[in-house]
Chains A and B, each alone.
Chain A
Amino acid sequence: MNNEAVGILVVDDEFSVRDSLYNWFKTEGYRADTAEGGMEALKKLQESPWDIVLVDIKMPGMDGMELQRHIKKIDSGIVVIVITAYATVDTAVEAMKEGAYDYLSKPVDPDKLSILIRNAVNQRRLVAENLQLRQKVEELSLQDEIVGESPQIKKILEMIDTVAKTDATVMIRGESGTGKELVAQALHSKSNRRYFPIISINCGAFPEGLLESELFGHEKGAFTGAQYKRKGKLEMANGGTIFFDEIGNITMKMQMDLLRVIETKQFTPLGSNKVVNVDFRVVAATNTDLEKKVAEKEFREDLYYRLNVFSIQLPPLRERPADIPLIARYFLEKYARSMNKKVTDISPESMKVLVQYDWPGNIRELRNTIERALVVVGKKNRIEVDDLNLLFLPKTEPLGRNSLEEVEKAHIKRILEQSEWNISRSAEILKIDRVTLYNKIKKYDLQR
């Protein structure tokens, strides 16, 4: 962190203090600003990011202690240094208890201030680095692997190995939840760009204007709400990979802008007149029928061909049932570890249910099912059918290979759940009388 990157805000009601500290910080090369009181300081803190705030304790209106509490609410990582002309141990202790980094009593020794600021900058940098590393570790621990031994998945792994080291644009196709982002990450981590970031953007999650600002970034004041300059995802992906998820959902205008960026590797942030040069690899994904969209003129043909250089089609989970036990065990181990549970197995009956289920939500649904099962499993050391909650999902088809009794039990339980255990309504839906329903509940030991 060079000094220019460090923002220091001086809050003091005395002009001479503000002015002299401002000048001193400027000559030290810091980005500095001043505020006359608490309200002005809070406004400035919301307008742009600050690393260190020097706060005078005694100020009319909002005093330094109150301001410090507000600052910590805005960003607990901001280093607050309290300045006081009334240096007493009490005020210093109180300020430190409230989270102040240190305190200074007026007048300040220049060398003391110099050392204090240097240490505060280091502290701020260490906190930021620590946070970044924690996020990285979290990301790495949450990152899934491509699991499976079916011929379909082996072919996909081969395709990833073949194309990863090239800079070719890759289009990943597949139903929702089939692991398109995972493939994009695998392509990135096996590429020569792996030491640079992979930036994902869900194109379907942003309205047009926002997607534009998210991708290209903007200057301060470029539009209402653009309170300060922000780097776009394209710039953040420089050197690495940009992953456009749900590419089929972008507007025609955005398609045109994107095509230009992909072809020229240049763009201009909103509200700026400076052209930014970038170098990234493009990976896109969609679960929509892009060919149909092209035919219906809803997706630009030139962009389609630009993106579809190499295509990877991910099969739905129901088409590779042989992989289900492997994937289920993978998630079991992963979540048991993260939840600190001693669950080591999935019962054969449960596995049978998992394999027979058609998984409309694909791997994502399987992952959620296992994660949920681990929450409800209690003190058991293996997952049983009751922990799965699959039979009660409305999209579940009756289990074709189960006995009539099993299907009946599941169906009655599902209807009871849907009607919130209203016996009359359930009996009406099932077209049986209430006594029969009570008997069935007793027979199958159904419980709320």
Chain B
Amino acid sequence: MSYIDIVPIGEIEDALLLHLQQSIFQTFRIQTRIRNRQFDLSSVYDPVRDQYNSTGLLLQLINDTSPETLRILGVTELDLFIPIFTFLFGEAQLNGKGALVSTHRLHNQFYGIPENKELLRIRLLKEGIHELGHTFGLIHCFTLRCVMKSSTYVEEIDQKSTNFCKECEQEVLRVRDGKNL
């Protein structure tokens, strides 16, 4: 059997992970499982920026997968960056195996407003599905409510839904069914 592995990197609330696991299963109709792993965070930490290199972390994530792992989604509280960008909500390999998402800038608190756990849960789900969508070959979508719409700030995440538009959904199903799951 093939799985989408959900891997916490650092401390992530169990309830948040469980909700993510269930919702991802419902979206992709692929079995999901939560797997705990160790990561060398010091090697991806940039003290000048006080952030973690997303690409380095993604490499660690995909370097240790099981034969049943179809896709792997890392979830972290760390603030991610790649050298050219000030920050990232997440990163994924287009048509690849690995995806990574950070909750750091999904918290309301980060923007100086009261925390909203429900909103955080939904934002994490949208970004998790979005990054996994890239691993199924999906590029950013122009449909306003599609989960594959590009979001470069948090309000844009709130504007889209947790669902794929018809075309993106068909593409995911095409890729998924091609894998003979």
Task: Decide if the interface of chain A is mainly helix, strand, loop or mixed.
Answer: helix
A16 to B58 alpha-carbon distance, docked (Å):
14
A28/B152 in contact, CB under 8 A: no
* A23 close to B83 (CB less than 8 A): no
B86 close to A109 (CB less than 8 A)? yes
Q: What residues on A are CB-neighbors of B139 within 8 Å?
A: 3, 26-29
Residues on the A chain within 8 Å of B88, using CB? 110
Please name all residues of chain A whose beta carbon is closer than 8 Å to the beta carbon of B83 when the two chains form the complex: 14, 16-17, 20, 106-107
- Contacts A28-B139, A28-B140 hold; do A20 and B153 have CB atoms under 8 A apart? no
Question: Closest CB of chain A to B79's CB: distance in Å?
Answer: 13
Per-residue contact bits, chain B 84-107, to A (CB 8 Å; 1 contact, 0 not): 111110011010000000000000
Contact pick for A20, options B82, B94, B140, CB 8 Å: B82
Chain A nearest Cβ from B80, distance in angstroms: 11
Chain A interface residue count, Cβ-Cβ cutoff 8 angstroms: 22
Min CB gap A255→B, angstroms: 46
Q: Name the contact of B82 in the complex, choosing from A3, A16, A29, A83 (C-beta under 8 A).
A: A16
B85:A23 contact, CB within 8 angstroms: no
Complex contact B85–A108 (CB within 8 A): yes
What is the 8 Å Cβ interface bit string for chain A, positions 85-127, against chain B (1 contact, 0 not)?
0000000000000000000001111110110000000000000
Question: Within residues 68 to 82 of chain B, which ones have a CB less than 8 A from any CB in chain A?
Answer: 81-82
Within 8 Å of chain B (Cβ to Cβ): is A437?
no
Q: In B141-172, which residues have CB < 8 Å from any A CB?
A: 150, 152-153
Contact across chains for B150 and A16 when beta carbons are under 8 A apart: no
The CA-CA distance from A123 to B94 in the complex, in Å, is: 28
How far, in Å, is B91 (CB) from chain A's closest CB?
A: 8
Which residues from B are CB-within-8-Å of A23? 91, 94
Least distance between B120 CB and chain A CB atoms (Å): 20
Residue ID in chain B nearest A26 by CB atoms: B94
Chain A CB within 8 A of B55 CB: yes
B93's nearest neighbour on chain A, judged by CB, is A23
B126 within 8 A of A: no
Tell me whether A110 and B55 are in contact in the complex, defined as CB-CB below 8 angstroms, given that A26-B139, A28-B139 are known contacts.
Answer: no
CB of A110 within 8 A of CB of B86, answer yes
B85 touches A20 (CB 8 A): yes
Q: Known: A27-B134, A28-B139, A114-B150. Contact between A107 and B84, CB under 8 A?
A: yes
Query: Given B84, B91, B92, B152, which contacts A17 in the complex, CB threshold below 8 Å?
Result: B84
- Nearest-neighbor residue (CB-CB) of A112 within chain B: B152
A106 to B49, CA, bound (A): 12
Cβ B140 vs Cβ A29 within 8 A:
yes
Contacts of A83 in B (CB 8 A): 84
4 pairs of A and B residues whose beta carbons are closest in the complex: A111-B152, A29-B139, A20-B82, A110-B152
Q: Which chain A residues have a beta carbon within 8 Å of chain B's beta carbons?
A: 3, 14, 16-17, 19-21, 23-24, 26-29, 83, 106-111, 113-114
